Chain A
Amino acid sequence: EVQLVESGGGLVKPGGSLRLSCTAYGFALSSHSVNWVRQAPGRALEWVASISQSGSFIDYADTMKGRFTVSRNNAESAAFLQMNSLRAEDSAVYYCARLLMVRDKENYYYYHMDVWGKGTPVTVSS
């Protein structure tokens, strides 16, 4: 079965750090970019970061730049989100998602997140 499984969430104090993992099963994660998305309690989905297949291209949401670092290990079929200097407003469920690129017969490209993990909760509180 094709699936993504996140782990590493938990309770951390403000200013602390956590490292989230996203492990792929049933497919080769190396063939896909990976996105991290979060949802704070009562809030909308929020895109966090993206890492390309090789790890050469990385983007972050502005509020995460300088605090969060995304990486991957294709040999382990895993991606990671290192979160430092955590704040209360970083409390959320964090999801990883596979980015699927599709090219149609007219050579149009489509990018969308077609496989998602169930998420791992992060709580930042003293």
Chain B
Amino acid sequence: EIVLTQTPGTLSLSPGESATLSCWASQSFNRNLLNWYQHRPGQAPRLLIYGASNRAADIPDRFRGSGSGTDFTLTISRLEPEDFAVYYCQQHDSPPYSFGQGTKLEIK
């Protein structure tokens, strides 16, 4: 079973700043199967990044994913007010198709 650990748990930043979110896997897997989702309260989760580094449709280039093996990163540049939400990494390599515990990005 692949366990995903996200750090930090909470990140307090101001609009205009940049955010770096990390996702660590308990074992190496195919980077094509690492995805990032944004989840705002009361809304459906939204796909941001698939295959570790590919932006989903309509996702601005302020969002960038990178990494491979066991270490993955989501970087958000020039934070906008709508970016403050919870972010999850998720693997679709092998069941259970686990999520990380999430990073809450909050306004400082």
Contacts and interface: CB of A to CB of B under 8 A. Distances in A.
Given A45-B99, A62-B96, A113 B47 contact: yes
Interface stretch (A16-24, A81-89, A104-112): A104-112
A91 interface: no
Contact of B97 (A44, A50, A102, A109): A50
A32 interface: no
B22 interface: no
B54 interface: yes
A118 B92 contact: no
A98 to B, nearest CB: 10
B32 A110 contact: yes
Contacts of B100: 44
Interface of B: 32-33, 35, 37, 39, 43-47, 50-51, 54, 56-57, 88, 90, 92, 95-102
B51 A44 contact: no
A42 to B, nearest CB: 11
A116 B33 contact: no
A-side binding surface: helix, strand, loop or mixed? Answer: strand
A116 B51 contact: no
A95 interface: yes
Interface string A25-64: 0000000000101010000111100100000000111100
Given A44-B100, A45-B39, A116-B45, 16 more contacts: A35-B97, A39-B39, A45-B45, A45-B90, A45-B99, A59-B96, A59-B97, A99-B92, A102-B50, A108-B32, A108-B51, A109-B32, A110-B32, A113-B90, A114-B56, A118-B43
